[in-house]
Chains A and B, each alone.
Chain A
Amino acid sequence: MRKLIWTLVILVVVGVFGGRVWYLNQHKQIGDNVVKIGGFLPLSGPLARDGVEFLKGLKIAQNQINNDSQYNFKIDLRMEDSKFSATQAVSLFNRLVDSNALISSGTPSTASIAPLLEQHKIPTISLINAEDKTILASSQIFRGWIAARTTASEIGHYIVSEYPEKTVALLRTHSSTDAKEFEEGLLGQLNKIGKQVQATETFAVTDMETNAQVLKLMDKNPDIIVVYGYAQGYIAAINSLIRMGYKGDIITTWDIEMNSSLIPNNASGIYFVTPTYDFSELVKEDKTTNNNFFVAFGYETLRLLAEAMKNGTKPEQIREGLANLKDVETGFGKVSYDERGELYLPPFVLKQMQPDGTAKVVKE
């Protein structure tokens, strides 16, 4: 037994030190004027798929930037696995504290390091953070891409302008701040014409089926059911609506396009609001990235950071650079940041899923 333990210990020590030497060599090859961009993504666990796709996009952008002569720096990307956990994020922050800028993903990770970001003044783009509260938690946090309130506003606006007479119910994830903000955003639009949400039912992101909630909503006979959520609970909610034979309109978020293969008949007939993205630049680099927003989010995030670093790569200069980014051309169209870290995207479009899994623009 002792032999085994000692063999294990020796293997671990050799592995760790060997790995370290290899890691240092890899990073030395990048050369001078290196900007360290650290970050933590969910690379294992239930949200690993998203994290791995983000990473793919980040690496494509890193290669492009490091080979582009218009940038006078090289990016050293150091991404770690956050496991979507607050404790892990704090631990990783202490490893990545010498970074010029950070990239994070998800509420627990980003919110937990907010005080540390404020203390160490490291600008951070939160890759996918649907809620406002996290963005406002530190002056160093900048929104990456989609806000729940904005998405809900777009849906509400569409309902108000196209179907003011129709009744609306809401099916959303429970006990999450972004879902609450989504509901507020939707109500904000509906209230403009004195409209209310007829009924609201909730589900957990880990739910495997939501038939009971769907049947309760269907009892109220709404003309439209708006669905908000993510992960398996979201797919279960859409599947329940179809399986329980709901005949009205379903309007949801861009997540449906990413998950349509998991829904009967490719989610045909379901409406969704979405930003539009020109994937041609990404497809040039990697043919598998078509219609994958997560890769696009990673890719555009690093490009925005590189844009912000043109006038200086110190953390305070990067923060200043991000806050001053206006009308930057991206695959999403022209985007801008404001001083609070809020991102402004071009208006979303309304699309409808088709039986072949594609989506058709219904309203621009």
Chain B
Amino acid sequence: MTYVLHQLIMISIYLILVYATNLVTGLGGLMTMAQAAFYGMGAYVYALVALNMPVGFVASCGISLLVAGLVAWILSKVVLRFRGETFVLATLAFQMIVFTILDNWEGVTGGSYGLSEIPRPSLFGWEVSTVPEYVLLSVIVAALITGVFWVMLNSPFGLSVRAVRDNERAAESLRISPQKQLSRAFVISSVLASLAGCLFASYVTYIDPTSFSLTESIFILCILLVGGSGNIIGPFLGVLFMILFPEGLRFLGLPDESAANLREIVYGTILIVLMYYRPNGFKGIYSVK
């Protein structure tokens, strides 16, 4: 049972991450490779604040989101000068820089060993210490973010970001500033990724750089592409499929020595087949350029 509850927590955390990515990639049309960097930044800042300052869960999260927002805003000034492959490379570079810092700044981040004994959340007297309690917290947060994303999707902001995606020049002629709208989307997306990082760090109570590598950024992007970008249901389907499917494969009863690699092959093959027949994902509005 704990195992199923754990999967629910991971689904909630990844749902936040994928909605965050959906803002920049699905609505904005820019494929970002830096989501794991902000996810990691959120986790590390939360952990460092919670370990060193007894300010509580909400304040620790708040500081973490502020830091991620500020870094994203500064970064957006640089990376949003680019579009297409150049934007991918710029965010990829940022991802690598953050990972290298997490892996090497031993005095602060603990280097490759990471940070342990991160406190569990305490919200207005509610000690979130058991797995079922954590399910409740993470599902509530994920539901809130889904709601926020749903509102944003059809808000003037959401529509203007989509307009920029579809035709930047046409959007400009309607007095929409592409730079400003994309920058907002990028900052909000990074802040949401950082929130997922706070939840992850406080749940696992141990973090190390391997959880926030480039592979993680690619995985988040894969979830979005498989589920479908630019809407609300696609990311949800993507998260369900990409989290539960590999877990389901564990029950296939393959021989132990080759099971892990065979599962990866089955998983990869099904992804290729899916992308071939559904390039927009299960329920995607756009295919990623």
Contact = CB atoms under 8 A, between A and B. Distances in A.
Contacts of A134: 113
Contacts of B5: 94
Interface in B110-128: 111-114, 116-117
Given A94-B6, A95-B3, A115-B205, A85 B210 contact: yes
A112 B251 contact: no
A121 B114 CA distance: 23
B195 to A, nearest CB: 17
A210 to B, nearest CB: 17
A111 B113 contact: yes
A112 B253 contact: no
Given A84-B210, A86-B206, A177-B111, A56 B257 contact: yes
A293 B145 CA distance: 50
A16 B114 contact: no
Interface string A40-56: 00011000100110011
Interface in A236-263: none
Interface string A282-300: 0000000000000000000
Interface stretch (B146-154, B176-184, B258-266): B258-266
Contacts of A137: 116
A133 B208 CA distance: 14
A103 to B, nearest CB: 13
Interface string B245-281: 1011111111011011101100000100100011000
A86 B111 contact: no
B287 interface: no
A278 B263 CA distance: 35
A20 to B, nearest CB: 5
Contacts of B257: 43, 52, 55-56
Nearest to B7: A91
A111 B115 CA distance: 9
Contacts of A79: 256
A23 B277 contact: no
A19 B204 contact: no
B131 interface: yes
Contact of A86 (B106, B204, B247, B254): B204
Contact of A114 (B2, B116, B211): B116
Contacts of A76: none
Contacts of A115: 116-117, 205-206
Contacts of A51: 260
Nearest to B262: A44
Contacts of B2: 94, 97
Contacts of A26: 253
A71 B257 CA distance: 26
B252 A16 contact: yes
A19 B266 CA distance: 14
B259 A12 contact: no
B113 A81 contact: no
Given A19-B251, A133-B113, A111 B206 contact: yes
Interface in A170-198: 174-177, 180
A99 interface: no
A344 B259 CA distance: 34
Given A86-B206, A86-B210, A91 B6 contact: yes
A64 interface: no
Interface string A88-106: 0011001101000000000
Contacts of A328: none
A19 B210 contact: no
A22 B10 CA distance: 28
Range of interface residues on chain A? 35 or more
A38 B245 CA distance: 22
Give the one of A79, A90, A114, A131 with max B CB within 10 A. Answer: A90
A161 interface: no
A224 to B, nearest CB: 27
Contacts of B113: 107, 111, 131, 133-134, 176-177
Contact of A87 (B111, B117, B204, B264): B204
A177 B208 CA distance: 12
A94 B5 CA distance: 9
A16 B257 CA distance: 19
Interface centre among A17, A48, A84, A115 (most CB of B within 10 A): A115
B50 interface: no
Contacts of B7: 91
A176 B104 CA distance: 8
A59 B111 CA distance: 35
Given A97-B2, A111-B208, A175-B103, A48 B111 contact: no
Contact of A20 (B6, B111, B253): B253
A64 B89 CA distance: 54
Contacts of B67: none
Contacts of A16: 248-249, 251-252
A55 B6 CA distance: 26
A81 B255 CA distance: 12
Given A1-B278, A114-B116, A137-B116, A176 B248 contact: no
Contacts of A8: 270, 273
Contacts of A180: 106
The 5 closest A-B pairs by CB, nearest first: A43-B260, A81-B260, A19-B253, A19-B252, A44-B260
19 contacts: A1-B277, A8-B270, A8-B273, A12-B245, A16-B251, A19-B253, A20-B251, A23-B253, A83-B260, A84-B210, A85-B210, A86-B114, A86-B204, A86-B211, A87-B211, A91-B7, A95-B250, A107-B112, A107-B113
Given A43-B261, A86-B211, A87-B211, 8 more contacts: A1-B277, A44-B261, A55-B257, A79-B256, A94-B5, A131-B113, A175-B106, A176-B112
